[in-house]
Structure 1
Amino acid sequence: MTQLDRSEALALLASVSLGRIVFTQNALPTVRPVNHVIDRGQIVLRTHAGAALTLQTGRAGNGGVVVAYEADAIDPVTHLGWSVIVTGYARLVDDPEDLARYHAMLEPWVAQTMDHAVRIRPDLVSGFRLTAQPLAG
């Protein structure tokens, strides 16, 4: 296993469209799979009015809420690949121009109206690459 530097980790994160967001709901950790896009160094996801993440980030105001975001690409046969974990503040997007741009950039994977967006600022970025072990000999 080799550690990734910040720029390599963010580049790998940008190479996939699905990840998992971890946030607090009722004082307990909650995990949701979501699709994302990277825009100007920040992770953007779409959500809807009644979603727990929308409610949490909407209540937080400009300070946002602390979240973790994880994405990976690991081959189940070879066990090779990578994983990236980002921790940062998530904020509900309230600028109409940004919101319209994100609606054009990111198509939701679920058949539901996703009229909100959440932006995550990656404050802590870590990751690793699973590499092949050299043969003993």
Structure 2
Amino acid sequence: ESAAILFPFLTGLLSLVLGLDDCFQFHEEIGPVFGLPQDATLGAYAIAAVAVFWVYRAFVARTDLVLLAMAAAGFGASIFLDVLEPLRHSGAGYLLEDGAKFFGIAAWSLYLGDTALRICLRQTAQTT
């Protein structure tokens, strides 16, 4: 099944791009230099993620949706906290936002690891 190869590849690629963006702040620092507004960059990331999950929705339905929901909740909370103006420049705001982001990253990593393990076990069962 091609989804067992392409879904992990594409979600891994998405993870790499998002990780590099978080590290180097492309959406805030580099994109605007080239005329790309922050919202356009973040929107492109969101569209890419939705597209991957839409195309592979049948495959995703057979994965651990609880871990996926936990990752989405963590990332969603991080984005929500990032746009709250009163918290933006406070120590508590940074702690809450980064804590939510860390939770999202941990759950996302567990989701991808669990999905990869299930693919390997399925492939092994088919060959034996």
Normalized per residue, the structure richer in strand is: 1
More helix by share: 2
Q: TM-score, normalised by structure 1?
A: 0.24
TM-score by length of 2: 0.25
